[in-house]
Structure 1
Amino acid sequence: MPGKGLTMAKPLSFEAFLDAMRDEGVTVKVVGDAKHHNRAGHGAWGPVHGVMIHHTVTEGTERSVALCRTGHMTLPGPLCHGVIDKKGVVHVVGYGRANHAGSGDDDVLRAVIAEGKLPPDNEANTDGNSRFYGFECINLGDNRDPWPEAQVEAIVRASAGILRRHGWGKDGPTSVIGHSEWQPGKIDPRGPIGKKGGPALTMDAIRKRVAERLKHPANWSPGGSTGGGTGGSTYTVRKGDTLWSIAQAKLGSGARNAEIAKLNGLKDPSAISIGQKLKIPAK
């Protein structure tokens, strides 16, 4: 039995959840008091075993984020933890138990825990809202609405960040599944990548990219060793960061903050903001 199935997977803290994505270079926006917005009291949250990907069947970022945060009369929000828009930004709308996965197949859950081959989902007998992190991705779900590459890449990076934090994915990337692989009758996610008539989005392709990503450091980007473009790396600014603290942590000396400022064209070294991506020079 692979190592993943030997331990109970406690959900990440809210802060660790955000950092897991930011470390992979994902732009994250927290909507309202997402940390405390959940379905507590309506079932368990955890142990968690994987990440589930959905499509919203909506268009427009503002509308989609609002719907996923508040839900509707028959299904209260939050309807996921993060909404991934067409530009690849993750809007975190809630944290904890969320109404996103519903009931699914216990055989699929066992395969996710074991990081083994997924069986067909043919029954709905297991609560998925307690077991999976959920991302709703803005797409009409009509099999014609394209998935921009930036959005697909954000799905890959956000998923990989969570897997990396939990130590999942060592025996296979089946810690990331689509709603259609969990609950009978579901079709999400689906649609062409890039443009109408483009290659179809598949969870196997997503899992392949996640698996490749996990072979590299979190700041890696395809086509380059780290994505910095300068022999260095990239870093996403977090709450409390200064250029000095970043230089100390990433380069071993706070005094190298001027190098970071110059590399990023920062006229005011103190003017950095949470979520900002900075190029880091090589050590």
Structure 2
Amino acid sequence: MSAPMAPAEWRAALTAEGVRYTELEGWTTRGRDAATGKKFGPVYGSLNHHTAGTNSLHAIAYSGQSSAVPAPLAHTYLPKNGVLVLVAAGRANHAGLAAKNSFDAIVAERPIPKPDKSTGTVDGNDALYGVEVENLGNGVDLYTRAQYDTWVRYNAALCRHHGWSGGSVAGHLETSVEGKPDPAGIVEGYGRRGRFTFTMAQLRADVAERLAHPASWSPSTQETDTVPDYVNLGLVHSYQLAPGLWDDIEFTTEWTDEPDGHATNSPTFVKGAARFTGSLSLRFEGLPKGEVVQVRMSEYDDAGALKADHPIHEVIGTAGGSYAIVPLTKRLAAGRNMRVRLLNQSDDQVEVASAVLTALVWEG
């Protein structure tokens, strides 16, 4: 429960979150509080809508939907260009009646159940911020990249100001007892993501991601379907592998025409967030026939702590040298890095004569 933001707080929260915005004349005093005798607030969350029309600002701020549903119809309006418009600081006619079971979930920041009128209703106009996002909601009209980026930032700004999580962000379809379908549609893209179908779950996830960073953060805009980086690492010199201990392969050269900053003189061969596929070619000398060197990929965090081990591959000793090609395919989360480790299970030192890693790496 929080008091609605004052105009100065709106400006500060939006500016900090990197929201581009304009102020419609009279927005600081516009609202339905006096006309209805109902004061806006306290507030519990952010309710999101699409306009189901075009060039909707006039209706939202001035003409309203009908005589029964006069303006303002939202606190903010988000057009295709991604520049948010501040419409009203007071009570707005955007939410109507919200099912109590859905409203209670928003307040508690837990998963929102299907709205059930039999649980009772709450006047959402009293307690929820409302944003109208320009879109027909017909599955053809696109939310632009700029529009969706502002949409995420806007909701994060409200949440950050009030100390809410992404669980305080809801869609009209999640609260309406009239079966309203908004918001819906197709998004042109966001961050590294290409075109995708809008869902409230995705919007909440994107808001939560923003809230996990400082307000000044911006998502990377490199899409995941771009040309991957090529990683080709190896050893300048062979080295001895002692028995009985897991030991990282420390690659000491990068065999590419255009080195791309992949680790050399380091056990790390790729850093997350990333996905990769490739192989590791190994040659051992001095591994007794029938003895084993185990090979596995292991995940570490940025502080160097081991976080996860992946399945083991075994190289079995043969006469005249021992060879193996180990497949490398994995998705790696942000803040993780991947190494290859070896365990010599024989009683003698073994020479790691060659280790050549080749992989294609996609960021994200």
Normalized against structure 1, the TM-score is what?
0.71
Contact 2:43 2:128 survives alignment (8 Å): yes
Q: Secondary structure at the match of 1:104?
A: strand
1:78-157 alignment to 2 at 5 Å?
A: 78-123=72-117, 125-157=121-153
Partner of 1:223: 220
The ranges of structure 1 where at least 4 consecutive aligned residues each deviate by more than 4 angstroms after the TM superposition are none
* Residue aligned with 2:187, SS: coil
Residue in structure 1 matched with residue 207 of structure 2 by the alignment? 210
The residue correspondences of 1:262-277 to structure 2 (distance < 5 A) are none
Q: Give the distance between the partners of 1:117 and 1:153, measured in 2 at CA.
A: 23
Unaligned runs of 5+ in 2: 222-364
Determine helix, strand or coil for the equivalent of 1:34. coil
Higher gyration radius (CA): 2
In the alignment, the residues of structure 1 paired with residue 143 and residue 42 of structure 2 have an alpha-carbon distance, to the nearest angstrom, of 31
Question: Equivalent residue for 1:39?
Answer: 32
Tell me what 1:68 maps to. Answer: 60
Give the TM-score normalised by structure 2.
0.56
| RMSD over aligned Cα atoms | 1.6
2:21 and 2:86 in contact (8 A); partners too: yes
Residues 150-194 of structure 1: CA distance to partner in whole angstroms, max 9, x if unpaired?
11111110000010011111xxx2200000001031000101111
Q: Distance in 1 between matches of 2:202 and 2:11?
A: 24
Deviation digits for residues 216-236 of structure 1, max 9, x if unmatched? Answer: 111110129xxxxxxxxxxxx
Residue matched to 2:23:
30
Alpha-carbon distance in structure 2 between the residues aligned to 1:84 and 1:174: 21
The letter of the residue matching 1:46 is G
In structure 2, the residue matched to 1:183 is 176
1:58 aligns with 53
Q: Which amino acid aligns with 2:2?
A: A
Secondary structure in structure 2 of the residue aligned to 1:75: coil
More helix by share: 1
**Which amino acid is the alignment partner of residue 51 of structure 2?**
T
Spell out the pairing of 1:149-168 with structure 2 (5 A cutoff): 149-168=145-164
Do the aligned residues in 1 keep the contact of 2:101 with 2:116 (CA within 8 Å)?
A: no
Residues in 1 aligned to 2:72 and 2:125: alpha-carbon distance in whole angstroms: 11
Number of aligned pairs?
210
Deviations 1:53-87, CA, capped at 9 Å, x for gaps? 10111113xxx111100114331110001000111
Q: Which has the higher strand share?
A: 2
Residue 217 of structure 2 aligns with an amino acid whose one-letter code is W
Distance in structure 1 (CA, Å) of the matches to 2:52 and 2:220 = 32
Q: Distance in 2 between matches of 1:211 and 1:96?
A: 27
More contact order relative to length (CA 8 Å, sep ≥ 6): 1
Give the share of equivalent positions with the same residue, in percent: 38
